[in-house]
Each structure stands twice: as C-alpha cells, then as structure tokens.
Amino acid sequence: MTRDNGVRERKGASPRAVSAAALVGSTIEWYDFMVFGTAAALVFNKLFFPAFSPLAGTLASFATFWAGFLARPIGGVLFGHFGDRIGRKSMLVLTLLLMGAATFCMGILPTYQQVGIWAPVLLVLMRLLQGLGLGGEWGGAALMTVEHAPPRKRGFYGSFTQVGGSLGQVLASGSIGAVAMLPEDQLMSWGWRIPFLLSALLIVVGLVIRLRIVESPVFLEYKQQERGAEKPPVVEVLRSQPGNVIRAACSAFANNAIIYVVTVFTLSYAAAQLGLSEGVMLSAVVIASLVDAFAIPLWGALSDRIGRRPVILGSAVAMVLFAFPFFWLLETGSTPLICLAFTVAIAGIRAALYAPQPAYFSELFATGVRYSGASLGTNLATVAMGGTAPFIATALLGWSGGASWPVSVYLMVVALITFSAVLVSPETLNTSIGAKAGKSAGSGIPSATS
C-alpha cells in the first residue's frame, strides 16, 4: 500500500493503529488538562483563593486556569521545533511525561490554609507545565494521524486526535463528579486530590501505547532530502506562511470559546445563578461528551467528502444561532433540556468546528514547518479564546448583574470571527501533504507571501 507521497506503508504503521495511539494519548493528556478546569470551577476558589470574595475567588481560579493556555504557544514552539527537526514520535512521549508529572504534583500540593500564598504560586507553576505539555501534544498527535492517513481519509483519521478531548472531558468530569459526592469536609481535605493522583496510572498506559507506534512516513522522507542550512521552523513558518498561521488560529477561535464556556463557565454559573446542582451539570457534560466522541469522526468524514470549509462555516453559523437558546434551555432548570443544550453545543456545533482541524492545519503547512505551524496556530487560538473564555464570561456575568445575554453575544462575535476567516481562506481538501513540497505551502494553497 502506498501514500500520496510515494512512501510504502510499513508494518505497524497502519492509519488505524496510529489513530488509536493518538486517541489514547490525547485522551490522557486532555484528562489531565481538563480535570484542572473542572476543579477550578468547583473547588479551587475555596482551596487556593479563600481570602477573596466568591466572585473574585472564581475569577482568580479561572485566571489560573488561563495560565495553562498562556504556556501553550511556548510549548508549541518548543516541541514544534524539535518535532520538525527530530521527529513527531519522540515529542509525543515527552509531552505525555511532562503533562502527567505536572498533574500528579497538583494532587499533592498544599492548600492556602497550609502554606499561604505559596499554594496558589505552586498551583500556577504546575498549570504552566501542563500548558507546555499540551501545547506540544496536539500538533504531534494530529500530524502523526494525518501523515499516516490515505489522502481521501485525512479528515476521518485525523479527527480521532480530537476525540481524545471528548473522552478526556468525560474522564475529568466523571472523576470530579465522583469525588464531589463525598461529604464537604472530605472533599475539601483529600477527595479533590484523587482525580489528579490517578494521572500516574493513566500515563503508564499512554506511554506503553505511544512507544509502539512508528515515525511518520512523510517526515522520514523529508529527512532524507538534501537541504542546506535551515532557519528554525517557527521562524521559517512565520516568514513564509504568516497568513496560514492566522488562518489556523482564527478558524479555531469558535470551538475554543464554546467548549470552555459550556464545560467550565456554566458549572459555576448554574450553581451560583440558577441554583442547579453540580451533579446535574457534570452529568450533562459527560452525556454530551460521550455523544461528541461518536460525532467527531462523522464530521471528520464529512469534511473528506464536501471539504473543510463548508463544515467549519456551517457550524460557525449554527453557533451564532444557538448562542441565546443555549442559555434559555439552561434557565428552564429541566435536566433533559439542559442535557439537550449541552449535547447540541458540544456534539453538534463544537464537534463540527473541531473535527476537520487536524487535516485542515496539516494541509495548510509544509512538512518541514508543519509541526510548528499547526501548533502555533491552534495554541494562539487557545490563548485568545480558550483560556480567557471562562474569565470573560464570568466578568460579563458580573457586569450584567447575573444576566446571561452578554455571554451569548460574546459567543456570537467569536463565531463570526471564525466564519469570516474561513470564508476568505482557500479549500485544502484535494491538496498534497507530501515531503517534496519543501518549505513553501505543502498543500499547494497560496502561501501568505505568494
């Protein structure tokens, strides 16, 4: 069996095997990253910022949540550099270890009551390490699946990297939901630590699986080419394809905003403003995320048939239309309607925005800068619209006196930014990602300098 780049598939390098490895590894990494977000919404304001008022403590907790996103572009540049120079596989192993170590250490941190100001300082430090790890993880996992995939199935196989985010959310919400059923004193004294400590077991599983996969055939062919002195990949991609970095970032704005508003902000909003139980909200997140895990490959496969742009554009429009109804459904207090709202937002809209991205970003960049370009684009989006979303939504809620309409308007504006960026971008579906494309746009779409 051969690829579009002429490299013969080797034993143990099938698209299914690589996609499965990316799925498991991404699930573990996203569990580590999202368990912090869930804990930030529910308990960290009391454990690490107790001297603040309830609103200020929640804002401080979400600001710490954002710290991980600030570190993600740095992780993307760092691991992207070596991923483009040394290889994709080794970076995936390193990012998994870094993420796991940081998450485990969170589980043994002292609280504010025990060491004072050092508690939030250490929490932020561990969150920054998490961000470094995840910043390098996504690009490597996405590229490994897409670069192993047949040309007409890059959207489908690449989307399994995204499924890891959904399953990681399920594990994070499920683990926090389980310990949240403990009596209040037990939850605050030791129960909250359990989901973080469990990361150690998950990392062992992830390492065993990732060490078995083989390097990308596209990257191996690229390394065999004769080339002169090269600039650092991040410098080269910003010099030759700055427009593609901007396209990638803007196309990811909407999915970042909606997922973190829905799965992080609404947990505190529902408890404080609507009087809904944490169990109901966490159950809605778990149900929606499970449906999302099945929906993402379907959206990825659809992007293989009709193109990346139509799928992303249609879902951005849907986000605009659903921004107000989402909160209307929450405000009914009805558990079935709340689950419906979460499922539509996550498995319907966000999944369609998210699923085509591994293929789309891989097709935007040339092999020698693909890891750096894809990582930089997606991580810039998470800084601008991901980690800030719970903070902005909470601030808007406080400004409006508890009304949700400013948050709906915020989601609509972000969706329109994504829509506009993708609307003026070229389609990448029928383009080559072969190593021979060199440093210019490997997909054959116009680079920003052409």
Q: Which helix (H) or strand (E) covers residue 240, if one does?
A: helix 233-240
How high is the pLDDT of residue 224?
81
* 286-336 pLDDT tens trace: 899 899 999 999 999 999 999 999 999 999 999 999 999 999 999 998 999
CA distance 218 to 360: 16
- Reduced to 3 states, what is the DSSP secondary structure of residue 2? strand
Average pLDDT, integer, range 358-363: 93
**Cβ(32)–Cβ(99) below 8 Å:** yes
DSSP state of 434: -
Closest CA to 73 of 264, 249, 259: 249
What pLDDT, on the 0 to 100 scale, is given for residue 359? 94
Q: What is the pLDDT of residues 394-403, one digit of tens each?
A: 899 989 988 8
Give the span between the Cα atoms of 289 and 283, in whole angstroms. 10
Q: Which residue has the higher pLDDT, 311 or 434?
A: 311
Residues 224 and 427: their CA atoms lie apart, in Å, by 29
| Residue 186 in tokens | 């037990």
Mean pLDDT, range 340-358, rounded to an integer: 95
DSSP assignment string, 246-258: HHHHHHTHHHHHH
- CATH homologous superfamily of 15-217+232-437 equals MFS general substrate transporter like domains (1.20.1250.20)
Query: pLDDT confidence of 435, banded at 50, 70, 90?
Result: low
pLDDT digits (tens, 9 = 90+) for 46-60: 788 776 667 666 777
| CA 19 vs CA 23, 79, 162, 353, 365: distances in Å | 6, 20, 10, 19, 20
pLDDT value of residue 13 = 66
- Write the DSSP assignment of 107-137 as a string of letters: TT---HHHHTTHHHHHHHHHHHHHHHHHHHH
Q: Which residue has the higher pLDDT, 171 or 324?
A: 324
Kindly report, residue by residue over 76-124, the tens digit of the pLDDT: 889 988 888 888 888 888 888 898 888 899 899 998 888 888 888 888 8
Position 226 pLDDT exceeds 80? no
Compute the average pLDDT of residues 18-31.
84
Token output for 357: 């991205």
- Which of the two residues, 435 and 334, has the higher pLDDT score? 334
Question: Does position 445 have pLDDT exceeding 50, yes or no?
Answer: no
Q: What is the mean pLDDT of residues 383-393?
A: 84
pLDDT band at 4 (very low <50, low <70, confident <90, very high): very low
Q: Give the pLDDT confidence score for residue 141 in this predicted structure.
A: 87
As a whole number of angstroms, the distance between CA 88 and CA 152 comes to 22
What is the predicted pLDDT for the residue at 41?
67
Q: What is the pLDDT of residue 2?
A: 45
- Lowest-pLDDT choice from 194-203, 278-287, 430-439: 430-439
Name the band, by pLDDT with cuts 50, 70 and 90, for residue 169: confident
Which residues are within 8 A (CB) of 53 and not within 5 positions of it... i.e. 6 or more apart?
Answer: none
Kindly report the CA angle at 205 between 359 and 91, in degrees rounded to 5? 45
Q: What is the pTM of this model?
A: 0.81
- Average pLDDT over the chain, rounded to an integer: 84
- In one-letter notation, the amino acid at residue 197 is L
Position 51 scores a pLDDT of 67
Higher pLDDT, 415 or 199: 415
- For the chain, the residue count is 450
Contact 331, 274 (CB under 8 A): yes
Q: Are 348 and 295 in contact (CB under 8 A)?
A: yes
For residue 3, what pLDDT band results from cuts at 50, 70 and 90? very low
**CA neighbours closer than 13 Å in the CB half-sphere of residue 392:** 19
